Amino acid sequence: MQAECLRGRAIQYYRRRHEKPDGRALLLYGYEPHSGESGPEFEDPVSSGSEMRFHPLRQEWALYSPHRQNRTFQPSKAANPLAPATQDGAITEIPFSDFELAVFGNRFPSLHPEAPDPAAASWKTQPARGDAEVVVYSPEDTGSLATIGQDRRILLIEAMIDRYQHHFEAGAAYVLPFENRGEAVGVTLSHPHGQIYAFPVVPEPQVKAEAAFAAGYDLEADRQSWGKDFAIAEAGGLQSWCPPFARFPYEVWISTRARRAGPWEFSSEDVEGLATLLGDTVARYDRLFEQPMPYMMSFQAAPADTSGAFQFTVQFYPIMRAAGRLKYLAGVEQATGIFTVDVDPKAAAKALRDT
């Protein structure tokens, strides 16, 4: 299929859709139209057999996907499934010799558009109908949000906006772009990438956040009341900061000064500012302990059906509390949801400002 020219908030870009033999879609985003013939591809059927079960005491859903036990785990460089196709004929998820940024359906998905109805049970269930996508930042097998460059980060945000719109139009209740970075977090593929989950329900933390915003909570007014001690950096219409209520050491949030429900409401200045701060935050993390920081990062935007009062944030949860020391979720945190934090957020903000 020919690449389609799209007008983003900050750029003009192109999107090429390629249908995989197993039924999944591969979307190639770039500043230039992508062309070329595809090489060999995976052809085995993709399992859709996930289901959701409801926890009656915690009032939240869990996903059950036994087929994910077989997903690719720390492959060799030659077997990297996120690399572009090579001359040796190795099969990868991106069967082209080069690309700028790629998004495709996960071969081992937790959510699937055609997930079947669960078997009858005495507990509450529902089909895990949604989507799970992989977002590959670059053809290079090393790098990070800090090193891929501003142009690639802007393209990434524009692609995220495109996927938000697609999944909402397809009926998703909530869309979560996220990144897990580092083996310490459990990452199975080291190639720089993130993911996008499109949920059939709004997860409980986002239900609570939506309720708080609908009741009149003003995050930006609250942030300003804390003063400059928690601030880290500014760019465009956004800022990065450590929340005084952080649950993780060196936790960082990025937010817009003007209220935005999600990046689909961004101006070009907002897109450029977010791209800058994504790179800046990861660079500061990597300088902090002079090694790549393992972290979990998510785009926290409004659900599909919202009051319009939601405030978009990007939230980074790093899991190092000091050089060579990981932050683990202890029994009390798992059991109660009450986190014990070893680094004061004001001190964390100063350390990150000074790196």
CB 4 within 8 A of CB 18: no
pLDDT digits (tens, 9 = 90+) for 46-97: 999 999 999 999 999 999 999 999 898 889 888 899 999 976 778 999 999 9
CB 132 within 8 A of CB 111: yes
Half-sphere exposure for 25 (CA within 13 Å, toward CB): 15
In b/e form, how buried is each residue of 296-327, taking b as 16+ CB within 10 angstroms?
bbbbbbbbbebeebbbbbbbbbbbbbeeeeeb
pLDDT digits (tens, 9 = 90+) for 183-212: 999 999 999 999 999 999 999 999 999 999
CB 312 within 8 A of CB 248: no
What are the sequence ranges of the domains in the chain?
Answer: 4-201, 206-354
Question: Which residue ranges of the chain lie beneath pLDDT 70?
Answer: 1, 87
**Predicted pLDDT at 286:** 98
To the query of whether residue 67 is one of the catalytic residues in this protein, the response is no
Same fold, 4-201 and 206-354: yes
CATH of domain 4-201: 3.30.428.10
CB 262 within 8 A of CB 164: yes
Tell me which of 112, 167, 191, 193 is the catalytic residue: 193
**Predicted pLDDT at 78:** 85
Strand 131-136 relative to strand 101-105, pairing: antiparallel
**Is the full-model pTM beyond 0.85?**
yes
- Give the start-end residues of each E strand in the chain: 4-7, 12-19, 25-30, 51-55, 60-64, 101-105, 125-127, 131-136, 174-181, 193-199, 231-235, 238-241, 252-256, 295-300, 313-318, 320-322, 325-326
**Predicted pLDDT at 87:** 61
CB 110 within 8 A of CB 197: yes
Q: Quick one: CATH architecture of 206-354?
A: 2-Layer Sandwich (3.30)
**Predicted pLDDT at 90:** 81
